[in-house]
Chain A
């Protein structure tokens, strides 16, 4: 039996199907334009496009642009082309439906689509990770209390604007630092005499090329990891607004959520529409308000993303209360590993604001020796007050 999708007889032909596929990828967050659709057609004409595997490989080379996309591509390809011989009614989804898909949770989208003629089998919004929680229902519902919570209930647009302002100030405080020494630079503000004279030897002592030097930026990159487990629910509002603000204020910042898993939300939060960004984030934060595995999440971060995005000029902000269900040693080991990359680690703990707080939670106690700063934070005002202290780091 063939697994290949059958197409309705009235649909306009292969070109439209490929265009439909590109639209399908676009709906799922891959950034593809008209040029890519054209290239995909050209690519298919260079391989045996009747062989699904070959087409899959060709389209993967054309349509993906990074490792994450390449990993998700198989599922997206299957859901469009390998639909168990089912008839696909409409190859190009209508634009109005797209908009709705972007702003609703994937669960809604599924329910709504189930009976209609549209893309009945389109995978839910964010593919990979969100999928894992959504389809593994039997296991997931047993474990997590409120599997999916709409984060938009928690965050209001005004707050994002306010948080954005604070995040911008904190970001600026952390980022704007310059080296004291000057280095050679093409567009420096001063002449680099030593180099100019050395270079003039080649031209018989005539300084033909004037070399310059400048004080280079030693800008810091901010990476924020936010705990959204059950014990943090009351503070999530502040922190999520802060994350959203941070991402909008600083284009090089990087953000993650963790509860029992770690999810990268950088791409989602870059959405121009602030509320839609939160909507996309809630699709990813499957398991929001559940248990917390700080140690394993940090370890996963240290082993995967940190290798790419964290270096000696990074500041890692951890927003968590330190209540970990796993062994505290793991948390300490993860932080030690992270520390080895040369970054600064700042832990913002909402509980520290309490009068009699002592870091007795095992996870927190184990983490303390590895931190550069351990600060209280549970309202936006508290975060704003951190600006001065963070700048001193």
Chain B
């Protein structure tokens, strides 16, 4: 599959990828390397994994990272309750200690968490490691083993090798600098806010019902709004919410009704100071310029 094929396949699923992203994704697939995506929130980093899984018709396994995430929640954990019940039951049946031990430390008693699950599937899944910068630095070390060798070492069982190599996509919002070792192992793409034409295509793909003139106005408005000095710049997801809100309210022209426009801005502006900054006059001016 060439990157243009991949791009059109993604477009078929409603994801409009930039050329840079499509080439990087295709390389990640053909070279078998993880792909690290960085960029502001709401630029479609998570969505690309979902669409890629749909295109390849495989499972999406998602690991949401957070501070304090550890191996037990990310890789594997023993099923203590089941082990304990088995021991009690075995004691009544008169099984020997050795037999019980061999039984309770087998794959049946292992709870697979996303990373282990990702390498033991029959068909290669898409593994999304979301917001990897939120996890602790120690966690990166676990990731390195899995991303470079695709294997997991379990002391009681031995090393589990990958049956299939998952397609790995990591996303980061840049709350913390990632280690060089992790960056080295990944292909890298910075996902920017889309340009006008791309964003218009996204809107058309996601909301087919929107009229051409209103679509133009929405994109113009959001793009102009991004140039304003905001604390939280609206992303693509917010733009789609905005479009849905306008369509739900049956608005055909942004400049028509300033009061309704202002009320729909709740979909775009997510902090108090941003909402205070974009007064109805400012919104009207931006809408006027965008039209």
B-binding residues in A (CB < 8 A): 31, 33, 35-36, 39, 42-43, 46-48, 53-54, 57-58, 60-62, 64-67, 70-71, 186, 202-204, 206, 208-209, 303, 307-309
State in angstroms the CA–CA spacing of A309 and B176 once bound together: 7
Stretch binding the partner chain, chosen from B18-26, B44-52, B196-204, B208-216: B18-26
Q: Is the CB of A186 within 8 A of B3?
A: no
Closest chain B CB from A300 CB (angstroms): 12
Stretch binding the partner chain, chosen from B108-116, B119-127, B187-195: B187-195
A-binding residues in B (CB < 8 A): 2-3, 19-20, 23-24, 26-28, 30-31, 33, 35-36, 38, 70, 80-81, 84, 88, 174-175, 177, 180, 183-184, 186-190, 229
State in angstroms the CA–CA spacing of A48 and B190 once bound together: 22
Q: Is the CB of B183 within 8 A of A66?
A: yes
Q: Is the CB of B24 within 8 A of A203?
A: no
Provide the main secondary structure of the chain A interface.
Answer: helix
State in angstroms the CA–CA spacing of A33 and B183 once bound together: 13
Q: Is the CB of B183 within 8 A of A65?
A: yes
State in angstroms the CA–CA spacing of A67 and B183 once bound together: 12
Closest chain B CB from A220 CB (angstroms): 15
Q: Is the CB of A58 within 8 A of B84?
A: no
State in angstroms the CA–CA spacing of A135 and B112 once bound together: 57
30 A–B contacts from the bound complex (CB under 8 Å):
A31-B180, A31-B184, A39-B33, A46-B26, A46-B27, A46-B30, A54-B23, A57-B23, A57-B24, A61-B20, A61-B23, A61-B28, A61-B188, A62-B27, A62-B187, A64-B190, A65-B36, A65-B180, A65-B186, A65-B188, A66-B183, A66-B188, A67-B190, A70-B189, A202-B80, A208-B80, A209-B80, A307-B174, A308-B175, A309-B177
Closest chain A CB from B26 CB (angstroms): 7
State in angstroms the CA–CA spacing of A65 and B33 once bound together: 14
Q: Is the CB of B188 within 8 A of A64?
A: yes
Residues of B within 8 Å of A67, CB to CB, are 38, 174, 190
State in angstroms the CA–CA spacing of A343 and B180 once bound together: 26
State in angstroms the CA–CA spacing of A308 and B175 once bound together: 5
Q: Is the CB of A57 within 8 A of B174?
A: no
Q: Is the CB of A204 within 8 A of B180?
A: no
Residues of B within 8 Å of A203, CB to CB, are 80-81, 84
